[in-house]
Structure 1
Amino acid sequence: MKHAVRLLALLALLAVYVATPARPALAAVTGTQVPVPPPPMGWASWNTFAAKINFNVIKAQADALVSSGLAAAGYKYVNIDEGWWQGTRDAAGNITVDTAEWPGGMAAIADYLHGKGLKAGIYTDAGRDGCGYYYPTGRPAAPGSGSEGHYAQDMLQFSRWGFDFVKVDWCGGSAEGLDPQSTYRAISAAVTSAAATTGRPLVLSICNWGVQSPWNWAPGMGAMWRTSTDIIYYGQTATQAMVLSNFDQGLHPAAQHTGYYNDPDMMIAGMPGLTAAQNRTHMGLWAISGAPLLIGDDLATMDATTRATLGNAEVIAVDQDPRGLQGVKVSDSQGRQVYGKVLAGSGRRAVLLLNRGTAAASMTVRWADLGLAATSASVRNLWSAQNAGSFATSYTVNVPANDAVLLTVTGTEAAATTYEAEATGNTRTGATVAACAGCSGGSKVGGIGNGGTLRFNAVAAPSAGLAVATIAYTNGDPTTRTATLQVNGQPSTVVAFPPTGSWTTAGTVSVIVPLTAGSANTLTFSNVAAWAPDLDAIEVRQLASAPAAVRVQGVQSGRCLDVDNSSTTNGVQLQLWDCNGQANQAWTVTSSKQLTVYGTKCLDAYNNGTTNGTAVVIWDCNGQANQQWNVNADGTISSAQSGLCLDASNRGTANGTKIILWACGSGTNQRWTLA
């Protein structure tokens, strides 16, 4: 291992490092891939039972989870959702429950679940009044059924009862206008304190429905965060459109890593309305995205086909892969989409080919799009459990309409670039520290100190898009440490570094990073805890992130057409922002004259507007004329409906300048380049 920096203890507290471009001697980052906590798997009560739950309902589902073999397949959590508590507290503010429905209280059901070899999950709300007050479903409205004002008390109570998982909903938080980020930060601190007191880890599920883009701030606060509204409302019939909508809204690959997961909600596989093929597609979509697998149907009445789909060991392995990354879209043409997921090990990928069209189609995945070398790779179909053979540079398969094929591909990693840190303006590498504060091993070599910052400059990318950055590090402490990663000044993310066993044992974890074309990318790690992790080097390998996508860059401003805060909400107005290669700036020009983002959202003249000043927004693609655009030779982009041009409002050039329609003219605020 080549240590990044070896500094004396006092100097380490102040050091700021930069990375030099790749050195020829560094062929690759070395070290064992460290497994990260996988996305939770289990069953949740809401989709089937709503608030009509009690000890016997949960017991019967837990028994079925075990007897079906799904618990042995990895589905361990039994999550008790809304309805278990009607907002009552004793004089000391402790939660009380109806012991006629919950004999022995909530500790008894947690004990029962543990006795079955399962884990216990429970539910509350971030506000004063929970969802059972605002949306009573199966029970009368229940005021006071939220945890606001009792965060520390309730999280400690849940942990003492024996629960392993807590879902914190947002009905009260939304109604009261609470700030999601600061609210869940306080809840996360309460969870951490409770676990420290009881010694029982408590997984936090942040359930604020994607409000204020939690993928930009939730990593490190909770293990998972909801990216959208409920996949289904109680009493509805399940549809594939529900599945696809939540899947699309859950794709934020730069946020998902090192044990933190985007959550597109509980599964509806097996519920009335979906066919066996649609259940398989649903399971495949959740697996390729590395989503939590929380079954939502009635386990006691589940048919054998659904049970086999949910229990498919090879598909579960894709979801639970110890590298912990999300699949990314690497191809998109007329509703035929290819997603690739980088798996643990060398040259291993999962691939999902999704045909959203109404006719069967031949679809191809290219090795180059997956970050693999153009040499022979073996292909396996996971649903048929058959090896398809070895193929030179790509693989083509027929995909039925509204269906998906799930594969694994094993080949050779494409060339990557390694960047290693060096100290500048400080002591050169080589100093050994006799003792260090905050590390358990007594002495170690290297480290960047409490609050230290490590920069990797001049990170190169041949084109804008996503890349896998594999980070070599050591962490000789027995606990996971964290650092904050920021790419090109964009929203930061907290990266976890699990223990590697010793200060001389190297390990690696991986993140997905959005890069701009060229060699001006910078990856900055900051807020590094005292002496751990000792970051060493990074290896960067680019993926083809939807190669048909382009960035739409303003000639006058040099900034890009951007969806504010990576929102997926219909009606969000487009703006200018520094070009960064993220998915909210990746536009695809379709053969039907649409400009799409996220695969399903279209550039849209709001409310069919045809007058100057009409807001340009994103909206679900619907084929209407207000979503059709002409990309013209003079650099303008005009509405096929109105003839008006995309315009940076008031000739603005600053971040946040709104995009509108205006009569086409000669101004450079109406000129765009697509690249």
Structure 2
Amino acid sequence: MKHLLSLALLAACSTLPVAAQSASDSLGLSCATEVFSLPHRPFMHKIVASSPEVQLSVKGLPKGLRWNAQRRLIEGTAPAAGSYSYSLIVSSGKEQRTIPAQLTVSKSLGLARPFMGWISWNVVEGNISASIVRQVADAMTTQGLSAAGYRYLIIDDLWHAPQRAADGATQPDPKKFPEGMKPVVDYVHGRGLKFGIYSDAAERTCAGAYGSLGYEQQDARTYAQWGVDLLKYDYCFAPKDAATAEERYRTMGTALREAGGILLYMCEWGARKPWLWGARTGASAWRATYDTRDCWVGKPGGIGVTQSIEDMKGLWPYSGVNRFNDADMMCVGIHGTGKSSNDLCATGPGMTQDEYTTQFALWCMWSSPLLLSFDLTKPIRPEDKHLITNADLIALDQDELGQQAELVLEDQGIIYFMKDLANGDVAISATNLKDSEQTAHFDFTRFSALQPKVRYRVRDCVEQRSLPAVQGQLSQTIRPHATLVYRLSRLARR
């Protein structure tokens, strides 16, 4: 397609993301200090020091919250709506530093839980149209996706007219949307869904349409008139520094809030570490990786599942309610039939069902937004529908504590994560990165949320079945590139 960027041009837009780096200051923190909660709901704030040898303590916690010194986290029940401050104290010997933390408690957070839905780019690209939107909206409702929680229908790049209207207003391509955008949005809303749209924080979008730089307020008002619920805001053709990115995203975030509270979904690919500053822009979720491809391993410049794991594994201290790290749209169900999702693949394109299951399971463990991107104008394969509507896995993603799964260890080609859940349960996972079958061994002494002397009820979230209770450890063989996910519930003492 003539409007699509070449690889070289796309590479010029940004650099690949890297995992969060520890501060050089030994008395600093490597975690979020601006956090959110709904009123009177379970809350957790994990505190990670830049140097693990230092001492941590907390002062000034609001009523209902307590400091768990053993696990280095704040937990409890959030207070009433309001803005609260407390102090995080980092000390080593005679040196001490006090770092302020801000807790916003509100009934009207942008995202109390990660959003779920479908986005057009991977299989549709520039062929998006009113007809496709209506077909997808129908499919989401009739094929059980909306009932499973997928409620956002998002159109990506190239929905735009060749140029803005004479008064500067944004407008849809009249050939693709002959009745305009509002009737299409109304149709989506009529199916009980929410509608998302796309723009860029520069003069043009990644695929060459006009962007929103300098038109933020006008575009936000137009989106509000159409009834748009979410804006995916990209960052192609924009300056590379983080300060400019924060300023441009804050400008749009303010405009969207003033226009009626449209959700800001930042898409700058993690290149400028948005987990450090994204919450200040008014965004509730931000991309933490470059574009995912439909493959287990991507070539340089591409992101397969293995690269997603590498980029996401260190970001758990920066996630939480209303501040979600997004691992990008999933390729589950594409099976090599996509467009842009097919390039830069070292394996594939297309993945095995175990590999797709790993992608979906880890996105759920990470509390990432769950965005499907396969062709919904065609029937869903039974095995794909079974996966993407897995209620046990979705419950982990949508857990109200909002915790991204914590990296526990990497051993013998297996990577282990642990996720705290609102009701006190703990989800643990193991992903086999090797090409041969392995044995995953969960030693509960390595998982800080588990107690080795306690018996736990076990739920296999992938297979959706209950297993015998365990104590102290759990072992299971695991196929190549597959993932095990167990939800552990503490058994009451007799």
TM-score (norm 2): 0.71
Maintained 8 Å contact 1:210/1:229: yes
In the alignment, which residue of structure 1 is the partner of 2:247? 182
1:354 counterpart = 2:431: yes
On the 8 A contact 1:127/1:176 being kept in 2, the answer is: no
Task: State the distance in 2 between where 1:22 and 1:157 align.
Answer: 46
- Does residue 209 (structure 1) correspond to residue 269 (structure 2)? The answer is yes
Could you say what the CA RMSD is over the residues aligned between the two structures, in angstroms? 2.6
Greater radius of gyration (CA):
1
Whole-angstrom distance in 2 between the partners of 1:151 and 1:282:
35
Aligned with residue 364 of structure 1, among 441, 465, 474: 441
Unaligned runs of 5+ in 2: 1-57, 80-104, 299-303, 336-349
Structure-1 residue corresponding to 2:82: none
1:159 aligned partner = 224
Aligned to 2:189: 114
- Report if the CA contact (8 A) 2:427-2:488 is conserved: yes
The code of the aligned residue for 1:55 comes to A
**Cα deviation digits, residues 136-190 of structure 1 (max 9, x gap):** xxxxxx4xx1000001111121112101010011113258998211111111111
User: How has the CA–CA distance of structure 1 residues 334 and 194 changed in structure 2, closer, same or farther, with 3 Å as cutoff?
Assistant: same
In 1, the alpha carbon distance for the partners of 2:142 and 2:482 equals 30
What is the rounded CA distance, in whole Å, between the counterparts of 2:374 and 2:482 in structure 1? 21
**Contact conserved, 1:238 with 1:271, CA < 8 A, in 2?**
no
Match of 2:343 in 1: none
Provide the C-alpha distance between the structure 2 equivalents of 1:344 and 1:22, rounded to a whole number of angstroms.
17
C-alpha displacement at 1:68, in angstroms?
A: 1.1
* Structure-2 residue corresponding to 1:397: 476
Q: Which residue of 2 aligns with 1:288?
A: 365
Q: Deviations over 1:435-493 (max 9, x none)?
A: xxxxxxxxxxxxxxxxxxxxxxxxxxxxxxxxxxxxxxxxxxxxxxxxxxxxxxxxxxx
1:342 pairs with one of 409, 412, 420: 420
**For 1:111, what is the secondary structure of its paired residue?**
helix
Q: Secondary structure at the match of 1:254?
A: helix
Q: 2:323 aligns with which of 241, 260, 263?
A: 260
SS at match of 2:126: coil
Percent identical: 28
What does 1:178-327 align with in structure 2 at a 5 Å threshold?
179-195=244-260, 201-220=261-280, 221-232=282-293, 238-239=295-296, 241=298, 242-251=304-313, 252-272=315-335, 273-301=350-378, 302-327=380-405
CA deviations 1:217-256 (Å, max 9, x no partner) are 1024311111121113xxxx53455122123313411211
SS at match of 2:207: helix
| Aligned partners of 2:129 and 2:176 also within 8 Å | yes
Contact 2:426–2:449 (8 Å) recurs in 1: no
Amino acid across the alignment from 2:118: W
In the alignment, the residues of structure 2 paired with residue 126 and residue 153 of structure 1 have an alpha-carbon distance, to the nearest angstrom, of 14
Q: Distance in 1 between matches of 2:249 and 2:283?
A: 9
Q: Which has the higher strand share?
A: 1
Distance 1:402 1:23, change over 3 A: closer
For each residue in 1:18-74, what CA deviation from the matched residue of structure 2 results, as whole angstroms up to 9, or x when unmatched?
Answer: 4599799xxx96547999711010000001111111101111111111111011100
Q: Which residue of 2 aligns with 1:72?
A: 147
8 Å CA contact 2:68–2:75 kept in 1: the answer is no
1:83 shift after superposition: 1.1
Could you tell me how far apart the structure 1 residues matched to 2:367 and 2:265 are? 15
Q: Which residue type is aligned with residue 238 of structure 1?
A: C
Work out whether residues 146 and 172 of structure 1, in 8 Å CA contact, stay in contact via their aligned partners in 2.
no
Aligned pairs for 1:412-431 within 5 A: none
Separation of aligned partners in 1, 2:231 and 2:68: 47
From the superposition, tell whether residues 75 and 240 of structure 1 become closer, same or farther in structure 2 (CA, over 3 Å). Answer: farther
Q: CA deviation at 1:86?
A: 3.5
- Alignment-derived partner of residue 150 in structure 1: 215
Match of 1:130 in 2: 205
Matched, 1:98 2:173: yes
Conserved 8 A contact 1:124-1:167: yes
The corresponding residue for 1:62 is 137
SS at match of 1:160: helix
| CA deviation vs aligned residue, 1:570-595 (integer Å, no higher than 9, x gap) | xxxxxxxxxxxxxxxxxxxxxxxxxx
Q: CA deviation at 1:77?
A: 0.3
Moved over 3 A (4+): 17-24, 28-36, 174-178, 237-241
**C-alpha separation between the residues in 2 aligned to 1:370 and 1:358?**
29
**1:409 aligned partner, one-letter code:** L
Structure 2 distance, partners of 1:177, 1:377, is: 45
The alpha-carbon deviation at position 279 of structure 1 amounts to 1.4
Distance (Å, rounded) in 2 between the aligned partners of 1:325 and 1:57: 35
Following superposition, the deviation at residue 352 of structure 1 comes to 1.2
Task: For 1:263-662, list aligned pairs within 5 A.
Answer: 263-272=326-335, 273-301=350-378, 302-346=380-424, 348-368=425-445, 369-374=447-452, 375-411=454-490
Q: In the alignment, residue 398 of structure 1 is paired with which amino acid?
A: T
- Letter in structure 2 aligned against 1:389: P
Measured in 2, the distance between the counterparts of 1:115 and 1:127 equals: 33
SS at structure 2 position matched to 1:112:
helix
8 Å contact kept, 1:372–1:412: no
- Offset, 1:393: 1.1
Give the distance between the partners of 1:23 and 1:146, measured in 2 at CA: 47
User: 2:481 & 2:197 partners in 1: Cα distance?
Assistant: 35
Distance (whole Å) between structure 1 residues aligned to residue 152 and residue 164 of structure 2:
26
Task: Look up the equivalent residue of 2:401 and give its one-letter code.
Answer: R
**Cα drift, residue 363 of structure 1:** 1.2
Partners of 1:337 and 1:261 lie apart in 2 by 21
Q: 1:250 to 1:152 in 2, by over 3 A?
A: farther
Q: Distance in 2 between matches of 1:50 and 1:91?
A: 27
How far has the Cα of 1:270 moved from its partner?
A: 0.9
1:108–1:339 distance in 2 versus 1, CA, 3 Å: same
- Distance across 1 between alignment mates of 2:411 and 2:295: 27
TM-score by length of 1: 0.53
SS in 2 for 1:238: coil
1:418 equivalent in structure 2: none
